[in-house]
């Protein structure tokens, strides 16, 4: 790393970002502006903005990527480059409820296998798959910081801890369609 | 789950059980922001750094680097802006203390960051939180808003001439972004690859400006240091590491939780068997990983009757490290071959791919584990794994490589029977 910060400049020729560019309602634009205002360099807002695009469009789709490139003054490839590094950024559609079961050591020894088996049997899918109705995706993920209250999973951003098969049934039944 | 202090008065956990502990009002009623006020009205930046030096506070993120010394590396005469970045990435398996500090007492972190910002002359500061902790980012944003409205954050804080802002930032699921230079890459909007050191962040960090990166627990210790004085804080711990330390305890104990203990607490056996109320279902203790997944695994024989002191030197003498203080306790139903495979899969998944020894090495290690698990083990596999570890440890670009090798090296050395069983089974 040098001791001078140089922003990566977009190519000098015009960039073709395609015709299909996502657009957002004004309150979403305001939220995006709020994030951009935090940083002296626009590019820093890339992850917060990706989460917004993903929340609004279900996943980071090509029109969403084009939007970010345009909004941040970056190349399409700059956006993909970052998107593909982070496991929470989805570049493919996923279920409306993303069940992320922690499979790391503390959860594993405290009963994760039993929870995973129960969830998969109940939904009829394997980890990494989505139910045909698009409601659930199940993933096995690494430690989520609930090791003292394991086993656990996260559905979207919500934590569910000290899980038992009975608790899992209640949680799954309580989720909106 | 237990949250509280043992063997000392709670400092960082002093307010966690109060009703509305998150609110500014409760924080202030219990002494909150008094340290900031004292700093702004009667201390120079150097006074603050000296007080932190006297406290012998060592970084709680994992490396244990003395915080006061780190702060003094920031060049005073630099014309560039300076930054304080709080490392709230907390992704080390077995570690969950920062989560409760932010969830229950967000203003303590804001106060600590502002004192650090004053000491270093930073006008802009970020809290880099792992993406999964979205609810904590919301809690922090609300607390920041409250502080701003009360004149504790932003322009002319508490009517002094000091102005400084704190913003939250989100990661997006990458363990490596807890490593401070990778964190800064990520905060600049890049892939989270580590950077070459030197230059260290204190000289050239965020946007190539002087930057201090500190863990949540480190920064939340600062208000108490100012309030009680560095010397008094040091005396709570040992000569070489002052104050109290949070330990996240998980696994097969009766009472998992976040424990605040004085540095140098005596001893590990008492801690597990009495404070954590012993092993579940009357099972026998087999192994402990005391500092998050990245440190050496310890055998019960090296803990029981051995008076292992719980501080940096004590755990090194006991054959491991403090690391992040993530205490993973395992009983004799656990196969150390399997637990080591589990952690190796973690490191393979989290290797950022930047350098060859770690990217390829962790992948091969997992392949070998899987082959053995399927019954294809060979007697020479233990040596093969050690050779691979030898090609990763000390030969990788950042410490994640070492962290991947250490669990395997220590497990093969200390639990040879668990490996042998799998290797012999095949023949
Ligand atoms: C692979 C890796 C992961 C790390 N993860 C974290 C983390 O999640 N949180 C943290 O505070 N420090 C983490 N660290 C340590 C940081 O690099 C850095 O030392 C620390 O944030 C400095 O703060 P401190 O001086 O307050 O400890 C990690 C280091 C490595 C090598
Ligand atoms: S050691 Fe691993 S995590 Fe660190 S730079 Fe190399 S590949 Fe990335
Ligand atoms: S190991 Fe599952 S939350 Fe930490």
Does any ligand 2 atom lie closer than 6 A to the CB of residue B359?
Answer: yes
Residue A36 Cα to chain centre, angstroms: 20
**For residue A108, how far is its CA from the centre of ligand 3 (angstroms)?**
8
- Give strand pairing partners of A141: A102
Helix axes A26-36, A46-57, angle to 10 degrees: 160
Phi-psi region of B121 (alpha: psi -120 to 50; beta: other; left: phi over 0): left
- B95 and A145 in contact by Cβ < 8 A? yes
Give ipTM to 2 decimals.
0.96
The neighbour count for residue B291, using CB atoms within 10 Å, is: 26
Model confidence at B78: pLDDT above 60: yes
Taking chain A (177 residues) in consecutive chunks of 10 residues, what is each chunk's mean pLDDT? Answer: 68 68 97 98 97 97 95 92 98 97 98 98 97 97 98 98 98 96
Task: State whether the beta carbon of B205 lies less than 6 angstroms from ligand 1.
Answer: no
Q: Determine the atom of ligand 1 nearest the C-alpha atom of B59.
A: 27
Give the integer Cα–Cα distance in Å for B67 and B119: 12
pLDDT of residue B254: 98
Cα dihedral A170, A171, A175, B2 in deg (nearest 10): 140
> A106, A144, A155, A163: which to substitute to probe chain B, counting the most B Cβ within 10 Å?
A106
Q: State the ligand closest to the CA atom of B362.
A: 2
Residue A81 contacts B, CB cutoff 8 Å:
yes
Tell me what the mean pLDDT of segment B355-376 comes to: 97
Round to whole Å and give the CA distance between B61 and B46: 24
Residue B427 pLDDT grade (very low, low, confident, very high; cuts 50, 70, 90): very low
**pLDDT at residue B143 in the model:** 98
| Residues of chain A contacting B328 with CB distance shorter than 8 Å | 105-106, 147
Q: Which stretch of DSSP H or E encloses residue A138?
A: strand A136-141
Residue B251 at interface with chain A, using a CB cutoff of 8 Å: yes
pLDDT score, position A64: 97
What's the mean pLDDT in B309-335? 97
Q: What angle do CA B410, B244, B157 make, to 5 degrees?
A: 125
Residue B344 forms contact with A (CB below 8 Å):
no
A140 near A127, Cβ under 8 Å?
Answer: yes
Is the bond preceding residue A177 a cis peptide, omega within 30 degrees? Answer: no
What pLDDT shows up at residue A16? 67
Q: What is the mean pLDDT of residues B245-261?
A: 98
**How many Å apart are CA B373 and CA B47, to the nearest integer?**
58
Q: Which ligand is nearest to the CA of B196?
A: 2
> Pick from A164, A100, A146: which is nearest to B1 by CA?
A146
Cβ of B176 closer than 6 Å to ligand 2, yes or no, is yes
Task: Give residue-wise pLDDT tens across range B145-186.
Answer: 999 999 999 999 999 999 999 999 999 999 999 999 999 999
**Is A9 part of the contact surface with chain B (CB cutoff 8 Å)?**
no
Asked if residues B220 and B104 have their Cβ atoms less than 8 Å apart, the reply is no
Tell me if residue B91 falls in helix, strand or coil: coil
Q: How many CA atoms lie within 13 A of A85 on its CB side?
A: 27
Mean pLDDT score of chain B: 97
- Give the model's confidence band at B283: pLDDT under 50 very low, under 70 low, under 90 confident, else very high: very high
What is the Cα–Cα distance from B231 to B52, expressed in whole angstroms? 9
Q: Which residues contact ligand 3 via a Cβ below 6 A?
A: A 102, 104-107, 143-147, 150, 152; B 93
Chain B nearest CA to A23, separation (Å): 22
Residue B215 CB less than 6 A away from ligand 1: yes
How does pLDDT run across B107-138, given as a tens digit for each residue?
Answer: 999 999 999 999 999 999 999 999 999 999 99
- Cα nearest neighbour of B136 on chain A: A157
pLDDT at B425: 58
Q: Is residue A160 within 8 Å of A118, Cβ to Cβ? A: no
Closest approach of A44 to chain B, Cα-based (Å): 4
Q: So what's the pLDDT on residue A8? A: 67
Mean pLDDT (whole number) for B291-307: 97
Maximum pairwise Cα distance, chain A? 59
Q: Note whether B134 contacts A147, CB cutoff 8 Å.
A: no
Alpha carbon distance A25, A30 (integer Å): 9
Beta carbons within 8 Å of A90's beta carbon, 6+ residues apart: A54, A59, A60
Q: Is A106 on the interface with B (CB under 8 A)?
A: yes
At residue B424, the pLDDT reads 78
Burial class for B282, CB neighbours closer than 10 Å (0-12, 13-18, 19+): exposed
pLDDT at B356 over 90: yes
B332 and A CB contact within 8 Å: no
In this prediction, residues B274-284 reach a mean pLDDT of 97
Provide the pLDDT for residue B219: 98
8 Å CB contact between B265 and B309: yes
Q: How far apart are CA A118 and CA A151, in angstroms?
A: 13
pLDDT more than 70, % of chain B: 99
Task: Choose which residue among B178, B395, B400, B404 to substitute to test ligand 2 binding: the one with the highest number of ligand atoms within 8 A of its C-beta.
Answer: B400
Chain A interface includes B134 (CB < 8 A): yes
Q: Is A26 exposed, middle or buried (0-12, 13-18, 19+ CB in 10 A)?
A: exposed
């Amino acid at each position: 790393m040098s001791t001078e910060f140089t922003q990566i400049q977009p190519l000098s020729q015009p960039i073709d970002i395609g015709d299909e560019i996502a657009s957002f309602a004004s309150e979403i634009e305001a939220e995006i502006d709020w994030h951009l205002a935090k940083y002296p360099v626009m590019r820093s807002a890339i992850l917060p903005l990706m989460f917004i695009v993903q929340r609004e469009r279900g996943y980071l789709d090509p029109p969403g990527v084009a939007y970010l490139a345009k909004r941040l003054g970056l190349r399409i490839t700059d956006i993909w480059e970052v998107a593909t590094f982070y496991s929470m950024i989805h570049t493919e559609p996923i279920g409306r409820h993303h069940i992320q079961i922690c499979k790391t050591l503390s959860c594993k020894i405290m009963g994760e296998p039993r929870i995973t088996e129960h969830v998969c049997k109940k939904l009829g899918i394997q980890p990494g798959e989505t139910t045909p109705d698009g409601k659930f995706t199940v993933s096995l993920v690494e430690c989520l910081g609930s090791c003292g209250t394991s086993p656990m999973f996260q559905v979207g951003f919500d934590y569910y801890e000290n899980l038992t098969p009975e608790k899992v049934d209640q949680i799954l039944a309580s989720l909106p369609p | 789950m237990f949250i509280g202090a043992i063997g000392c008065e709670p400092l960082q956990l002093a307010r966690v059980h109060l009703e509305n502990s998150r609110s500014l009002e409760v924080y202030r009623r219990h002494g909150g922001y008094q340290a900031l006020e004292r700093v702004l009205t009667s201390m120079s930046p150097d006074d603050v750094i000296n007080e932190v030096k006297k406290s012998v506070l060592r970084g709680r993120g994992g490396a244990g680097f003395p915080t006061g010394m780190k702060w003094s590396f920031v060049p005073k005469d630099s014309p560039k802006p300076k930054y304080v970045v709080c490392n709230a990435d907390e992704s080390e398996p077995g570690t969950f203390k920062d989560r409760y500090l932010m969830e229950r007492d967000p203003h303590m972190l804001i106060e600590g960051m502002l004192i650090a910002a004053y000491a270093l002359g930073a006008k802009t500061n970020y809290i880099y939180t792992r993406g999964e902790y979205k609810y904590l980012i919301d809690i922090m944003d609300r607390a920041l808003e409250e502080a701003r409205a009360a004149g504790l954050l932003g322009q002319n804080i508490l009517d002094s001439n000091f102005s400084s802002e704190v913003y939250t930032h989100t990661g997006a699921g990458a363990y490596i972004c807890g490593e401070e230079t990778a964190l800064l890459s990520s905060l600049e909007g890049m892939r989270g690859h580590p950077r070459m050191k030197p230059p260290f962040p204190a000289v050239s960090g965020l946007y190539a400006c002087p930057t201090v990166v500190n863990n949540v627990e480190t920064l939340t210790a600062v208000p108490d240091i100012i309030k009680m004085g560095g010397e008094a804080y040091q005396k709570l711990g040992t000569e070489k590491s002052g104050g109290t330390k949070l330990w996240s305890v998980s696994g097969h104990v009766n009472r998992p939780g976040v424990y605040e203990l004085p540095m140098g607490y005596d001893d590990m056996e008492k801690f597990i068997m009495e404070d954590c109320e012993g092993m579940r279902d009357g099972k026998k203790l087999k192994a402990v990983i005391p500092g998050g997944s990245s440190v050496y695994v310890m055998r019960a024989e090296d803990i029981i009757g051995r008076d292992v002191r719980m501080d940096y030197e004590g755990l090194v003498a006991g054959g491991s490290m403090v690391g992040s203080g993530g205490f993973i306790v395992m009983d004799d139903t656990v196969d150390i071959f399997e637990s080591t495979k589990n952690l190796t899969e973690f490191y393979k998944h989290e290797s950022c791919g930047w350098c060859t020894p770690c990217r390829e090495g962790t992948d091969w290690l997992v392949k070998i584990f899987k082959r053995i698990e399927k019954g294809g083990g060979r007697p020479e596999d233990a040596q093969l794994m050690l050779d691979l570890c030898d090609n990763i440890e000390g030969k990788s670009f950042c410490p994640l490589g070492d962290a991947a090798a250490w669990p395997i090296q220590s497990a093969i050395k200390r639990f040879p029977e668990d490996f042998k069983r799998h290797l012999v089974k095949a023949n």
